[in-house]
Structure 1
Amino acid sequence: MLGIGTLAKKVFGTPNDRLVKSVRPLVAQINALEPEIEKLDDDGIKAKTIDLQARARDGADLDDLLPEAFATCREAARRAIGLRAFDTQLIGGIFLHRGNIAEMKTGEGKTLVATFPAYLNALSGKGVHIVTVNDYLARRDAEWMSKVFGALGLTTGVVYPQQPEAEKKAAYAADITYATNNELGFDYLRDNMKADLAQLSQRPHNFAIVDEVDSILIDEARTPLIISGPSQDRSELYKAVDTFIPEMVEEHFTLEEKTRNVTFTDEGNDFIEQRLMAAGLLPEGQTLYDPESTTLVHHVTQALKAHKLFQKDKDYIVRDGQIVLIDEFTGRMMSGRRLSDGLHQAIEAKEGANIQPENVTLASVTFQNYFRLYNKLAGMTGTAATEAEEFAEIYGLGVVEIPTNRPVARVDDDDAVYRTAREKFEAIVEEIRKSHETGQPVLVGTTSIEKSEALSSMLQKAGVPHNVLNARQHEKEAQIVADAGKLGAVTIATNMAGRGTDIQLGGNVELKVFEALAADPEAHPDDLRTRIEAEHAEEKQKVLQAGGLFVLATERHESRRIDNQLRGRSGRQGDPGRSSFFLSLEDDLMRIFGSDRLDKMLSRLGMKEGEAIVHPWVNKSLEKAQAKVEGRNFDIRKQLLKFDDVMNDQRKVIFGQRMEIMEATNVAEITRDMRHQVIDDLVETFIPPKSYVDQWDGTGLYAAALEKLGVDVPVGQWIEEEGVDDEVIRERLTKAADELMAKKATDFGTENMRTIEKQLLLQTIDGKWRDHLLKLEHLRSVVGFRGYAQRDPLSEYKNESFQLFEGLLNGLREEVTQKLAMIRPLSEEERRTMMEQMAAQQQAATAGSQPSQSAVASLAEADSTIGSEANPHNPEFDENDRSTWGNPGRNEACPCGSGKKFKHCHGRFA
């Protein structure tokens, strides 16, 4: 008997069904325009774009232009790449244009879907970003879809790491820009560290379509993007602490796998104190509870985490002596990414790798706050419904399930639960062997490199040929995935999220056509497609007869969404398929979420060796456990975002202020206001309001005026004059300081003075912001303990971070005023001496020694003619023209010829 809810859905349809139904008339309008658009020649298609652009500029609503734009884009795609979009793809495009997430099953053609809303929104001339999860997909999609956009008369760009600046600017200036989420976020931070508008890469954030939106906006959103610089070297301390961590036993610490945290027991504290004292790291008489021991406790905690919570070949791999992190969701190596707070250094010590210095944060932003910069945001994925609440609450995005072009024919088996991992893997190998013999392709999903390689060796012993796709085989990714649908193929994959290449039965036709077109651009797409389809049609038929792709998962993930992504690889475009999950009571999810009771029950039932329990109830209980984990992770991300929102408000103020300064032709008014505010503060400090003359501190005010304002004025005499009050003294100080700055402007030249003021302002803001970020990090690390005192950590963080921000602004005014008061042009003799020193230091640098920073600091005080001198080692290098810098890596030698690494030289300002 049907439940009331199920019965109502059958009669009225689900809210999602009604949403999809509401856009059917729009699809009918697009289809009705098809015959008219088909009659246009290639120039006619481009002329249509020009017409639509003119109407958009004249104020026409993009919604009104949608039917014509979509019909034009569909015809351009048919001609350029031989693909005519299905009606369901148009529906997906409509919901993307409306700022939603389109949940589309694997194989429904999301790459093509994105072209429709991208084309429509690019008509405004404000640019559209299409965001992918890795550089390979960004380049592949840009190259493939640029044919479509080119046929429409639009430009396409692609952004990638270590791209030449001129090329990057051109990519961002294009109508459609393909890029990874990481590169977009880093470019945003880099832009807000630059000192000149001409150096900025990005335009204002208009519209972004995020592919694999769940992976980017949820999975990766936990970790902020950070641009950092090196701090002091503590490698010896990490090595010393690491020596005794392996000796710690279970009685010494408590391990919380759910929260990924470790704490020491009393026995552990005693053990650590003894070992630290023996190593000479903890002074006699000092305990771990003393405030002076905070840093040591932090180091030991991070070392313990490195040993107990981070596993080699699961969380990271060692490659060329470097610790390379692995993305737990995609299984990819994250080269260049480092764990913060000394954790990466602790892992380096554990593995005997070269320990790199900890970094100081120069700028940071979370993906949540970066993507909320866009005026409109949309996303595509195969699995978003389970996280619909988070998308709505954090990003204001609705999730719409787009119907498949053909009904899904995949058979989803109930989970099979074995008592031990050994029994489970033996059953998996047997199941793979059977399917391989029938010719059915098998995709095996694992959760770590270690498990994928263990299963690979078991299959080798069983004589089953197979491919392995994990972080180690990252380079062969597209080919391995493309071959996974071939007859009898067995592919072991570590996390299939965001792979971006469909597994098509008999082989990937699109990839073959794409490669053939790249090899022979003159060939007609339709002819190539016909030939390639004929070649693999026979093999596809055999695969279909064998039952289509069999997805076999070796474990349940914490998130249902990741499981659904793996399962969704089978049964694309109405193909037959099958999915099975093989589990054991020793799996992480089962173990952490109470498999003890189930184990006892199975023992009582008398389960035999190799037997599995298979029942829909098991599926439901597992889904409930997964839903709990998802809910907890959402709460963690929400809490993190609340803290980051506090910093984000401050970040917007600072970045906005920087932009105003860069856009201004004359910042003299800003520096004057700062100077006058400093004078007001000085007078208020040394001549308190409503105080008597004998309470005034004339000596202190004189010294402060000399130090902060650079003026030598007789404050003591002023105070002794009859009828002088604080207002008169304020006016005299202001007049003296303004006259001093007017004289400097004359000495330097007005134009030079304006440049100096602007550069000083930007440099000081950047320095203060860096210090502020460090203070906020420290505040975040301790504010959680306020909860023990019944105080809300978030409220405490808001209040104290606001006070710190006020201190930043006050310090900024004082520092800028003081620096401007102290600068002076160099005399001819000083300038000559300076140039000789710099030449000598650069010679020393090429011989392997480091030049001192004093010359650079002094040069900042000289007039701007010195800064434009050609570099004696690389005459083509011009530090004011980034196009002469080339494209050095951060660890390569700086092109200026200083002998330093780029990141320690001109790369600091890049």
Structure 2
Amino acid sequence: MLGMGKLAKKVFGTPNDRKIKATRPLVAKINALEPDFEKLTDEEIKSKTVELSERAKGGESLDDLLPEAFANCREAARRALGLRAFDVQLMGGIFLHQGNISEMKTGEGKTLVATFPAYLNALMGKGVHVVTVNDYLARRDAEWMGNVFAALGMTTGVVYPQQPEKEKRAAYACDVTYATNNELGFDYLRDNMKSDLREMAQRDHFFAIVDEVDSILIDEARTPLIISGPAQDRSELYVSVDKLIPDLRDDHFAVDEKTRNVTFTDEGNEYLEEQLLARGLLPEGQSLYDPESTTIVHHVNQGLRAHKLFTKDKDYIVRDNQVVLIDEFTGRMMAGRRLSDGLHQAIEAKEGCAIQPENVTLAQVTFQNYFRLYDKLAGMTGTAATEAEEFAEIYRLGVVEVPTNRPVARIDEDDAVYRTAREKNDAIVETIKEANAKGQPILVGTTSIEKSEFLSEMLNKAKIKHNVLNARQHEQEAQIVADAGKLGAVTIATNMAGRGTDIKLGGNVEFKVLEAIAAEPEGDHEAIRARIEEAHKADEEAVKAAGGLFVLATERHESRRIDNQLRGRSGRQGDPGRSSFFLSLEDDLMRIFGSERLDKVLSTLGMKEGEAIVHPWVNKSLERAQAKVEGRNFDIRKQLLKFDDVMNDQRKVIFSQRREIMDAEDLSEIAQDMRHDVIADLVEQYMPPKTYADQWDTEGLYAACIEKLSLDVPVIKWADEEGVDDEAIRERLEKASDEEMAKKAVSFGAEAMRMVEKQVLLQTIDTKWREHLLTLEHLRSVVGFRGYAQRDPLNEYKNESFQLFEHMLDSLREEVTTTLSRIRPMTEEEQQQLAQELAQQQQQLQQAATPEPVDSLPGAPADGFDENDPSTWGNPGRNEPCPCGSGKKFKHCHGRLA
């Protein structure tokens, strides 16, 4: 019998079905317009854009313009790329325009789908941002889809790291701008460190379409973007602390794998105190529990975390004597990304690498709060349904599953669970052998570099030819992925999330054509393409006959979404395929989340060596364990966000104030208000209200006026006058200070005075904000302990950070007033010198605001470039011209794969 829920769904359809149904009339309208748009000339298509844009700016709603805009965009894409969008792609575009996440399976053409809502919303002239997960995809998509936008008469820009400022401003000024989430966030922070509105790169935050939305808004949301400058060098301390850790016994610390945390036990603390005293790291007579020991305790804790929680070749790799982090979700290197709070330095000490100095935060923002700046947000991915609650709660984004163009023909097998990792690995090699014997291409998913290399060794022993894709092969990524669908190909990959290159059965035609043309540059390119396409058809049929792409996963990930992403690499566009997960009770997820019960079940069943349990119940229990982990990770991110929201409100106030100051022509009124507030505070301090004249500290007030206002006025004499109260003295001080500043303005010249006021205000705000960020960091690290006193740490943080913010604004007023009052009239030469110094300081600030990459980025040549010496070429992008000057692309010349 059907349950009530299932029965209701059968009668009324699921909410998702109803959303799909609601778009069908719109799709029918677009299709009905198709014959009219096919008749338009290329120029008429561009004219249609101008007409639609004028109507949009004239007040006509974008929803009303949608059918015409989508029909125009579909026709332009057909002419520019030879691709006619399917109805399901139009549906995906409609959901994106409505501010949803379109969940579309791999190979359904998400890159093209994004052009429809991007075009429609760009008609408003406010700029649309399309966000990708890496620079390669940003450039590729901008170049590829730029043809569609050009055919529509729109401009396309791309933003990439270390881009010249002028080029970056031009990219943001385009109708549609492609960029990575990191670059967008960093540019937002950099813009809010500039001192001139004309230098700011970003315009409005109007509409953003986020590709691989789950990767960007969930996986990366735990790490805030931080722009920092160097602090004092403490590398010796890290090395000294690191020498202590290997001597610790197991009873000195406790590791909690579920929360990824590690703490010292009481025995550990005693042992530490002895060792630190013996090595002179703790002064004689000082205990670990003294307030003065906070710094050393912090460093020891970070050293312990570096050794016990961070594993080489899984969490990071060592490259060119530097520790480079690995993204746990995509297996990619995160060049330039560093762990905060001295943890990165502790790992550098552990690995014997050069220790980079710690950094001081100059500006920071989380992805959650950056993307919530947009008036409208949308996203695309193959896997979002499992995180629908988080998208709805944090970003107010709905998730809609868009049907596939052709039915999915992939066979998803139940998980096979083995007792030991050895039995599981043997079974994996056997399965690969069987599939490989019939020519079926296999994609093997692993969770770490270490495991992918171990499996690679096993396949070498079994004499099975294969490719390995992990952070070490980052540069050849697209090529290896493109080859993964060839007949008989075996590819081992760490987390295949969002690789951006389709695995096509029989191999990728475009890559084959480019390689062949590079080998015969003088040949007939059309004939070469025809020959390769013909050969490819036979290869594709052979692979289909062998069963299509076989995705073999060697472990379950903490998140069901990552597993689904890997699974989704097979069975694109109705292709045949199969997927299977091989697990053992020794896997991390199984070990941490209740494998004891399964172990008992397997023992009771009396399983033989090499046998596996395969049953839908096992899948269900594993999914429940994964859902628990996802829920806990969501709670962690939610808690992080609650704390960051407190700072975010303050950040918005400071950034909007800076903008107003940069926008203002004359700041003398703001400076005057600040000065009057300072005078009111001084009068209240030295002449408290409701006190008698003989209780006033007039000498203190006189001294404060000289120090804070550079005013030598007879305050003591005024106070002795009959009938004078604190209000009268405040008014006299205000008048005297206004007159003094007016004289200065005349001496300076009005224009120079305005410039000085603006620079002093901006610089003081920046300095105070940086100090405030540091204070908040320290507050955040200790506020958790308030929980022991039955007080809510979040409320404590809110209250104290608000008080700190008020204090910062008070000291800001005081400092601006003091600085401006001390400025004396200058000669013309001195004025020029001051302007130069201020410009220099601003330049230094901008340099600090550029995150230094660990790796040179694509296209960034090394100093002393020599086209005959490859060691001076930096790290050229694979699709860029080869630095040797041959005219070929780098990947077809010196970067050619062996």
The TM-score with structure 1 as length reference comes to 0.91
Matched-pair contact (CA < 8 Å) for 1:129–1:208:
yes
Q: How does 1:29-178 map to 2 (within 5 A)?
A: 29-178=29-178
Pairing 1:624–2:592 present = no
> 2:645, 2:48 → 1: CA distance?
44
Q: What is the SS of the residue equivalent to 1:210?
A: strand
Deviations 1:587-636 (A, max 9, x none): 00000011122223322322111111111100000000000000111111
Q: Distance in 2 between matches of 1:187 and 1:318?
A: 29
1:5 Cα deviation from its structure 2 partner: 2.6
For the 8 Å contact 2:444–2:493, the answer to whether it is kept is yes
Q: Distance in 2 between matches of 1:82 and 1:514?
A: 18
The 5 Å alignment of 1:449-468 reads 449-468=449-468
Question: Where does the alignment leave 5 or more consecutive residues of structure 1 unmatched?
Answer: 832-861, 872-876, 893-898, 900-910
State the alpha-carbon separation in 1 of the partners of residues 52 and 519 from structure 2. Answer: 34
In structure 1, how many angstroms separate the alpha carbons of the residues matched to 2:734 and 2:350? 60
Q: Deviations over 1:85-139 (max 9, x none)?
A: 1100000000000000000000000000000000000011011000000000000
> How far does the alpha carbon of each residue in 1:361-380 deviate from its partner, in whole angstroms, 9 at most, with x for none?
10000000000000000000
State the alpha-carbon separation in 1 of the partners of residues 853 and 555 from structure 2. Answer: 40
2:722 aligned partner: 722
* Residues 228-275 of structure 1, C-alpha deviations (whole Å, 9 max, x = no match): 011111111111010010111110011111111111111101110111
Identify unmatched segments of 5+ residues in structure 2. 856-862, 864-898
Q: Aligned Cα RMSD in Å?
A: 2.6
Quote how far apart the aligned CAs of 1:518 are: 11
Change in 2 beyond 3 A, CA 1:465/1:520:
closer
TM alignment of 1:165-314, pairs within 5 A? 165-314=165-314
Shift of 1:287: 1.2
Match of 1:438 in 2: 438
Local SS of the residue matching 2:254:
strand
For residues 680 and 522 of structure 1, what CA distance do their matches in structure 2 show? Answer: 83
Cα distance in 2 for partners of 1:81, 1:515 equals 21
Once the two structures are TM-superposed, the CA of residue 436 in structure 1 deviates from its matched residue by 0.9
Matched residue, 2:881: none
What SS does the aligned partner of 2:282 have?
coil
Q: Deviation per CA, 1:141-160, whole angstroms, max 9, x where unpaired? A: 00000001000100000000
Query: Which residue does the alignment assign to 1:410?
Result: 410
Q: 1:889 to 1:249 in 2, by over 3 A?
A: closer
Cα distance, 1:150–1:399 mapped onto 2, change above 3 Å: same
Q: Which residue of 2 aligns with 1:23?
A: 23
Residues in 2 aligned to 1:99 and 1:869: alpha-carbon distance in whole angstroms: 47
Q: CA deviation at 1:647?
A: 0.5
Q: Tell me the residue number matched to 2:801.
A: 801
CA-CA distance at 1:281 after TM superposition? 1.0
Q: Look up the SS of the partner of 1:417 in the other structure.
A: strand
Per-residue Cα deviation, 1:165-192 (whole angstroms, up to 9, x for no partner): 0100000000000000000000000000
Three-state SS of the structure 1 residue aligned to 2:831 is coil
- In the alignment, the residues of structure 2 paired with residue 131 and residue 664 of structure 1 have an alpha-carbon distance, to the nearest angstrom, of 33
Shift of 1:2: 3.6
Q: What CA deviation, in whole Å up to 9, does each residue of 1:534-586 have, x standing for no partner?
A: 33100000000000000000000000000000000001101110000000101
1:9–1:726 CA distance, 2 compared to 1 (3 A): same
Provide the rounded CA distance (Å) in 1 between the counterparts of 2:153 and 2:481.
Answer: 33
Task: Report matched runs for 1:820-839 at 5 Å.
Answer: 820-826=820-826
Contact in 1 for aligned 2:324/2:854 (Cα 8 Å): no
Q: Deviations over 1:360-401 (max 9, x none)?
A: 110000000000000000000000000000000000000000
In 2, the alpha carbon distance for the partners of 1:151 and 1:164 equals: 27
Following TM superposition, by how much is the alpha carbon of 1:863 offset from its aligned partner in structure 2, in angstroms?
A: 1.4
Give distance in 2, aligned partners of 1:867 and 1:57. Answer: 42
Determine the C-alpha separation between the residues in 2 that align with 1:531 and 1:138.
31
Q: How many Å separate the matches in 2 of 1:124 and 1:18?
A: 30
Q: What amino acid does structure 2 have at the position aligned with 1:237?
A: L
How far apart are residue 691 of structure 1 and its match? 0.2
What amino acid maps onto 1:307 in structure 2? H
One-letter amino acid of the counterpart of residue 68, structure 2: E
Say if 2:725 is the partner of 1:757. Answer: no
Separation in 2, partners of 1:654, 1:870: 21
8 Å Cα contact 2:228-2:851 kept in structure 1: no
Query: Matched residue of 1:400: which SS?
Result: strand
Alpha-carbon distance in structure 2 between the residues aligned to 1:869 and 1:779: 34
In structure 2, relative to structure 1, the CA distance for the partners of 1:878 and 1:143 (3 Å cut) is farther
Distance in 2 separating the partners of 1:256 and 1:509: 49
CA contact (8 A) 2:748 2:826 kept: no
Q: How many Å separate the matches in 2 of 1:671 and 1:742?
A: 12
Normalised by the length of structure 2, the TM-score is 0.92
Alpha-carbon spacing, 1:869–1:336, altered in 2? closer, same or farther (3 Å)? closer
Task: Give the SS at the match of 1:864.
Answer: helix
Partner residue of 1:863? 831
How far residue 827 of structure 1 moved from its aligned partner, in angstroms, is 5.7
Aligned to 1:908: none
**Aligned 1:361-400 pairs, distance under 5 A:** 361-400=361-400
- How has the CA–CA distance of structure 1 residues 518 and 188 changed in structure 2, closer, same or farther, with 3 Å as cutoff? farther
Give the alignment of 1:739-818 within 5 angstroms: 739-818=739-818
User: How many Å apart are 1:509 and its aligned residue?
Assistant: 3.6
Contact 1:559–1:629 under 8 Å retained in 2: yes
Deviation at 1:357, TM superposition (A): 1.0
- Closer/same/farther in 2, CA of residues 869 and 585 from structure 1, 3 Å limit: closer
Residues 882, 634 of structure 1: alpha-carbon distance in 2 compared, 3 angstrom cutoff: closer
Cα 1:368–1:341 change in 2 (3 A) is same
Q: What's the CA shift for 1:731?
A: 1.3
Identical pairs, percent: 77
For residues 53-90 of structure 1, what are the alpha-carbon distances to aligned partners after superposition, in whole Å with 9 as ceiling and x for unaligned? 11111111111111111111111111111111110000
Q: Which residue of 1 is the match for residue 637 of structure 2?
A: 637
Amino acid at match of 1:84: R
1:335 corresponds in structure 2 to: 335
Structure 1 counterpart of 2:832, one-letter code: S
Q: Give me the whole-angstrom Cα distance separating, in 2, the residues matched to 1:785 and 1:698.
A: 44
Pick which of 649-658 and 56-65 moved more.
56-65
Q: SS where residue 577 of structure 1 aligns? A: strand
SS in 1 for 2:228: strand
Alpha-carbon contact 2:227-2:851 (below 8 Å) kept: no
Match of 2:575 in 1: 575
Q: Does 1:584 align with 2:584?
A: yes
Letter in 1 for 2:756: I
> SS in structure 2 opposite 1:244?
helix
Letter in 2 for 1:864: Q
In the alignment, the residues of structure 2 paired with residue 3 and residue 674 of structure 1 have an alpha-carbon distance, to the nearest angstrom, of: 69
Quick one: structure 1 residues 532 and 97, their matched pair in 2 at CA, closer, same or farther if it must change by over 3 Å? farther
User: How much does 1:823 deviate?
Assistant: 1.6
SS of residue matched to 1:23: helix
Contact 1:383 1:564 in 2 (8 A): yes
Distance 2:699 2:738 in 1: 22
- Residue 498 of structure 1: SS of its match in structure 2? coil
